[in-house]
Structure 1
Amino acid sequence: MKTKRILAAALCALLAAGWLAGCSTETGGGESRLEDTTINGEEAKDLKYIRPGQNADNENDPVIRAIRAYENLYGVKVDVIAADYDTWTTKVLAASTSGSPIDVIYGSVSEYPLFAMKGYTQPIEEYVDLSADYLNASAAEAFFSFQGKVYCAAGSTVAPLVMYYNKDMLEAEGMDDPIDLYNAGEWTFDNFRKMCKALTTDTDGDGNTDRWGLCCWYPWAFLGANHTALCTITEEGKYQLNLDDPAVVETLEFVQDAYYTSKWRGLDGDNIYTSFYQGRNAFLNEYSWSETSNIIPAKESGQFDFEYGVAPMPAGPNNTEGYNVAHASGFGIATGSANPYHAGKLIEMIQEYSKADAQEKNQKVPAEHLELYEQLAQKPFNDSYYDSAIKDGNDLFVLITGGNNIQTSIAAITPVYQELLDEANEASE
Structure 2
Amino acid sequence: MLTGDPQKETEMNIRRRSFLLGTGGIAMTAGLSACGNSSQPGGTTSDGRPELTYMYRGGEDERAAYNIAIKAFEEANDCSVKVIVTDADQYTTKLQAAITGNQVPDVFYLEQGSVMAFATNHVVRDITAEVEASGVDLDNVWAYGVNSYRFDGERVGQGAMYGMPKDIGPFSFGYNRTMFEAAGIPLPDPEKPYTMDEFRAVAKQLTTDTNGDGELDQWGTGLNVTWNLQAFVWSNGGDWVDEAKTTVTVDKPEFVEALQTFADIQNVDKSTPSIAEAQTLDTYQRWMKGEIGFFPVGPWDVSTYTKLDFDWDLIPYPVMGTGETATWVGSLGIAVAQSTDHPDLAAKLAVYLSTNEEAQRQLWKAGVQVPNLIDMATNEFATSEGMPENKAEFLNIIQETGRALPAATTWSGEWYDEFWVGIQPVLDGKKSAADYCKEVQPRMQEKLDAANQQAEQNR
Same-fold status (TM-score > 0.5): yes
- Whether contact under 8 Å (1:226, 1:319) holds in the other structure is no
- CA RMSD of superposed structures (Å): 3.8
How far, CA to CA, are the matches of 2:272 and 2:147 in structure 1? Answer: 31
How far, CA to CA, are the matches of 1:204 and 1:193 in structure 2? Answer: 23
Please give the secondary structure, in 2, of the residue aligned with 1:204.
coil
Any gaps of 5 or more consecutive residues in structure 2?
1-47, 367-380
Cα distance, 1:326 vs structure 2: 2.6
Q: Could you tell me which residue of structure 2 aligns to residue 179 of structure 1?
A: 189
Cα distance, 1:311 vs structure 2: 0.7
- Whether contact under 8 Å (1:108, 1:327) holds in the other structure is no
Of 42, 49, 55, the residue aligned with 1:50 is 55
Counterpart amino acid of residue 56 in structure 2: R
Please give the secondary structure, in 2, of the residue aligned with 1:127.
helix
> Deviations along 1:36-59, whole A, 9 cap, x unmatched?
xxxxxxx9843332223467xx89
1:140 matched to 2:145:
yes
Of 321, 324, 329, the residue aligned with 1:326 is 329
Cα distance, 1:118 vs structure 2: 6.3
What's the % identity of the aligned pairs?
24
Q: Could you tell me which residue of structure 1 aligns to residue 211 of structure 2?
A: 204
Please give the secondary structure, in 1, of the residue aligned with 2:221.
strand
Which has the higher Rg, Structure 1 or Structure 2?
1
Counterpart amino acid of residue 316 in structure 1: M
Q: Could you tell me which residue of structure 1 aligns to residue 270 of structure 2?
A: 263
> Deviations along 1:148-183, whole A, 9 cap, x unmatched?
23433124x634322222334324545342226x43
How far, CA to CA, are the matches of 1:219 and 1:151 in structure 2? Answer: 28
Q: Could you tell me which residue of structure 2 aligns to residue 315 of structure 1?
A: 319
Cα distance, 1:212 vs structure 2: 0.6
Counterpart amino acid of residue 67 in structure 1: I
Of 340, 349, 354, the residue aligned with 2:352 is 349
Of 255, 276, 286, the residue aligned with 1:248 is 255
Map of 1:1-150 to 2, 5 A cutoff?
Answer: 45-53=50-58, 61-109=64-112, 115-116=118-119, 120-129=123-132, 131-132=136-137, 136-141=141-146, 143-146=148-151, 147=155, 148-149=158-159, 150=161
In structure 2, relative to structure 1, the CA distance for the partners of 1:48 and 1:175 (3 Å cut) is same
In structure 2, relative to structure 1, the CA distance for the partners of 1:258 and 1:159 (3 Å cut) is same
Cα distance, 1:187 vs structure 2: 2.0
- Whether contact under 8 Å (1:71, 1:78) holds in the other structure is yes
More helix by percentage: 2
How far, CA to CA, are the matches of 1:46 and 1:232 in structure 2? Answer: 46
Counterpart amino acid of residue 106 in structure 1: Y
- Whether contact under 8 Å (2:336, 2:346) holds in the other structure is yes
Paired residue total: 372
Counterpart amino acid of residue 154 in structure 1: P
Counterpart amino acid of residue 172 in structure 2: V
TM-score normalised to structure 2 length: 0.67
How far, CA to CA, are the matches of 1:207 and 1:142 in structure 2? Answer: 53
Q: Could you tell me which residue of structure 1 aligns to residue 299 of structure 2?
A: 288
- Whether contact under 8 Å (1:231, 1:242) holds in the other structure is yes
- Whether contact under 8 Å (1:211, 1:280) holds in the other structure is yes
How far, CA to CA, are the matches of 2:232 and 2:93 in structure 1? Answer: 30
TM-score normalised to structure 1 length: 0.71
- Whether contact under 8 Å (2:251, 2:438) holds in the other structure is no
- Whether contact under 8 Å (1:333, 1:344) holds in the other structure is yes
Q: Could you tell me which residue of structure 2 aligns to residue 27 of structure 1?
A: none
Q: Could you tell me which residue of structure 1 aligns to residue 170 of structure 2?
A: 160
Cα distance, 1:93 vs structure 2: 3.5
- Whether contact under 8 Å (2:74, 2:81) holds in the other structure is yes
How far, CA to CA, are the matches of 1:365 and 1:283 in structure 2? Answer: 19
Q: Could you tell me which residue of structure 1 aligns to residue 27 of structure 2?
A: none
